[in-house]
């Protein structure tokens, strides 16, 4: 029986940087680099209209801000998060924290995706054959990988489950539709992608 949150209005009391009123659980197949067997892998995506905290500030390798004086940087660092509505969809990865209801849903909907105790608890796919953690760099960034299908035909290999329940997470990587190579995946979610008029 699907897990339906019983308290949709309950605050999602986690340090989230993305949230939405619904979300997508994606399933694809990946050839494990350790054992070479095909294994199911899962990812999370958010529909247009999801929200993200305003964090457009850029930090260089030393953690120093660019383009803000120290006072403004301090104010930004210690200010409460400002939620912004994002008009486009997003694929999220490097997920550190998930709202409890979402985590509970994934336990049955995406059993290969779970926190990696050897990777700071980051939500990670594990090969169902050999048990190795699957590196995100094998799944997300490059055209032809499980969550970067090269065209509409390849995108049909991604199975999409829409979950009509609140979502909140802290994700270090948010693939927006600014990443053109994610357009076939976003179209698979039913989102039109194209040049702005």
Binding site residues, Zn ion, CB under 5 A: 32, 34-35, 127, 129-130
Q: With respect to Zn ion, which residue has the nearer C-beta, 32 or 102?
A: 32
Give the residue among 165, 43, 58 at the shortest CA–CA distance from 110: 43
Q: Which is nearer to Zn ion, 134 or 171 (CB)?
A: 134
Per the listing, tokens 């290969």 go with: 112
Distance of closest approach, residue 49 Cβ to Zn ion, in angstroms: 37
Question: Nearer Cβ to Zn ion, position 35 or 109?
Answer: 35
Q: Which of 112, 108, 147 minimizes the C-alpha distance to 37?
A: 112
Report, in Å, the least distance between residue 126 CB and Zn ion.
9
Q: Nearest approach, Cβ of 33 to Zn ion (angstroms)? A: 8
With tokens 């997920």, the residue in question is: 95
| Contact (CB, 8 A) for 98 and 123 | yes
CB of 133 to Zn ion, least distance (A): 10
Minimum distance, C-beta of residue 32 to Zn ion, in the bound complex (Å):
3
Which residue lies nearer to Zn ion by CB, 33 or 107? Answer: 33
Give which of 159, 123, 172, 163 is closest to 21, Cα–Cα.
Answer: 163
Alpha carbon distance, N-terminus to C-terminus of the chain: 44
Question: E-assigned strands of the chain?
Answer: 18-20, 23-31, 38-46, 51-53, 83-85, 90-98, 113-115, 123-126, 133-134, 159-163, 167-176
What is the β-pairing status of strands 90-98 and 38-46? antiparallel
- Taking the least distance from each CB to Zn ion, the nearer of 8 and 117 is 117
């Amino acid at each position: 029986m699907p897990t339906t949150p019983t308290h949709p209005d309950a605050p999602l009391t986690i340090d989230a940087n993305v949230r939405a009123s619904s979300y997508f659980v994606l399933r694809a197949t990946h050839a494990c680099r350790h054992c070479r067997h095909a294994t199911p892998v899962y990812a999370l995506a958010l529909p247009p209209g999801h929200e993200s905290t305003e964090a457009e500030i850029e930090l260089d390798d030393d953690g120093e801000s660019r383009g803000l004086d120290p006072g403004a940087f301090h104010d930004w660092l210690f200010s409460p998060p400002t939620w912004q509505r994002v008009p486009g969809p997003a694929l999220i990865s490097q997920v550190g924290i998930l709202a409890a209801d979402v985590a509970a849903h994934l336990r049955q909907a995406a059993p290969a995706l779970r926190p990696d105790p050897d990777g700071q608890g980051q939500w990670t796919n594990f090969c169902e054959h050999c048990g190795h953690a699957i590196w995100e760099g094998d799944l997300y960034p490059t055209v032809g990988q499980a969550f970067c299908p090269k065209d509409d035909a390849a995108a049909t290999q991604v199975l999409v489950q829409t979950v009509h329940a609140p979502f909140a997470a802290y994700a270090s990587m948010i693939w927006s539709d600014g990443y053109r190579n994610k357009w076939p995946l976003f179209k698979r979610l039913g989102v039109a992608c194209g040049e702005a008029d």
